[in-house]
Amino acid sequence: MDLVNFYAVVGPAVFALILLEVVFCIYRKNGYYSYQDSLMGLGTMIIAQCVNVALTVPILIGYGWIFRNFSLFQIPTTWWSYAACYIGVDFLFYWFHRAGHRVNILWAAHVPHHSAEELNYAVALRASLTQRIASFIFYWPLALIGFAPEVILPIVAINLILQLLPHTRVIPKLPSLIDSWLNTPYHHRIHHASNPIYWDKNYGGTFIFWDKLFGTFEVETEAPYYGVSIHPKSWDPTYLNFHWYIVLWRDAKAATHFIDKMKIWFMPPGWRPRNLGPYEKMSNFEGDRQVKYQTTAVPGSTGYLLLQAAFSFWALYFIIDPKSPLPVAYRVVLALLLYGSVTLWSRILESRRGALPLEFARILVFGFYFSGLSQAGIIGSRPTLIAFTGLIASAIYAGKLFVATRILRRVTISERKPN
């Protein structure tokens, strides 16, 4: 089973887990879920999965080249080799993760995941477009040792999938028999915490004993809060993914010393060129209360965006499922359409001007796309029916939102006019 297949298989289970946690949190009224943060977590996951598909082939080729020409051993494919590879993957993940918090250019790839101001299974999916590229640079030693690429990639996939489990505040501290060696939710909450005392701690993927061994283990001593010191203040998926790269580029351009222009990419986050002062952190506290980033969405759009999330997740399977009938070119087009969809979600969440007219255009383009697939005989009658049912419902829903928004705008303007 290849890397993409694993994500396709576990997708429904992951969303069932999210739904279960959402229902539990609503029942307990604990406030662990933020609709906007969670929605964009799902959106960035959809985009990242499209990138994963594109990376699979070049990664297999690269690891295969190392394995065939430079491997020290030829490790047979057995149950114990899979187990040994898993430990190797988790060990290398620890160092990749640690470097991702200590090297600016790697932090730029990792920070979209930490920018979520909640910790739950939905925001756990908030993935970076560039982190997956960076992560596979760290796993090549396994091919050099002698693990076949067909062993490494599925193990990496399983390791990443299992890392979803600690991303919750619902599960309490577990018994020490488990908590002493596994990266449990208790440990990972500390890693995600924005409290300064918790910075750069608990990097482990599956196992927490790496942190104990290399001096990065920490226990909870004060209530954690989540997010990053310099929040991107946007839901736009492109800006979320490239926010810290932009910050670094601007600082590099502003640096008056050439060496600082180079150093900033490889220094720890927070370091700045000598002619620039420290970063002005965006305070997200009012007294002792954390004020999380929120925007005013298009009125009544919550249900509409949830419908779009469900439709996009369904469409994603045409890209990531190895049994998909879509040729490569059609998958690329669909990936671009999904990227545009998630971008428009952010515009609706931020009540950007022209968001709804652009939504109508997007629905129309999707209609032409699935119509073309159907007429070419690439997809059958059932997926065609599902697609057009979703698109027609979306068009009707978007039309109601557009009319309601226009009426609300006219009422607001009339109320502002002097009598």
Higher pLDDT, 33 or 410: 33
Give residue-wise pLDDT tens across range 324-341. 999 999 999 999 999 999
Higher pLDDT, 75 or 132: 75
Give residue-wise pLDDT tens across range 377-413. 999 999 999 999 999 999 999 999 999 888 756 555 5
- In angstroms, the Cα distances linking 3 to 10, 134, 151, 205 are 11, 17, 10, 18
Is it the case that residue 2 has pLDDT exceeding 50?
A: no
Bridge partner residues of 290 (DSSP): 285
Count other Cβ atoms within 10 Å, centred on residue 309. 19
Give residue-wise pLDDT tens across range 75-116. 999 999 999 999 999 999 999 999 999 999 999 999 999 999
- When pLDDT is averaged across residues 209-229 and rounded to a whole number, the result is 95
Q: Which amino acid is at 322?
A: P
pLDDT of residue 409: 63
Higher pLDDT, 35 or 413: 35
Model-level pTM? 0.92
Give residue-wise pLDDT tens across range 253-270. 999 999 999 999 999 999
Backbone angles phi, psi at 81, to 5 degrees: -70, -35
- When pLDDT is averaged across residues 202-215 and rounded to a whole number, the result is 98
1 falls in which pLDDT band (50, 70, 90)?
A: very low
pLDDT of residue 307: 96
Higher pLDDT, 127 or 139: 139
Give residue-wise pLDDT tens across range 163-194. 999 999 999 999 999 999 999 999 999 999 99
**Are the beta carbons of 395 and 363 closer than 8 angstroms?**
yes
State whether residue 11 is helix, strand or coil. helix
Give residue-wise pLDDT tens across range 287-334. 677 888 999 999 999 999 999 999 999 999 999 888 899 999 999 999
pLDDT of residue 45: 92
pLDDT of residue 411: 52
416 falls in which pLDDT band (50, 70, 90)?
A: low
- When pLDDT is averaged across residues 345-358 and rounded to a whole number, the result is 95
Q: Please give the full DSSP string across 204-253, using - where no structure is assigned.
A: -SSBSHHHHHHT------S---BS-SS------HHHHHHHHHHHHHHHHH
Arithmetic mean of pLDDT over the chain: 91
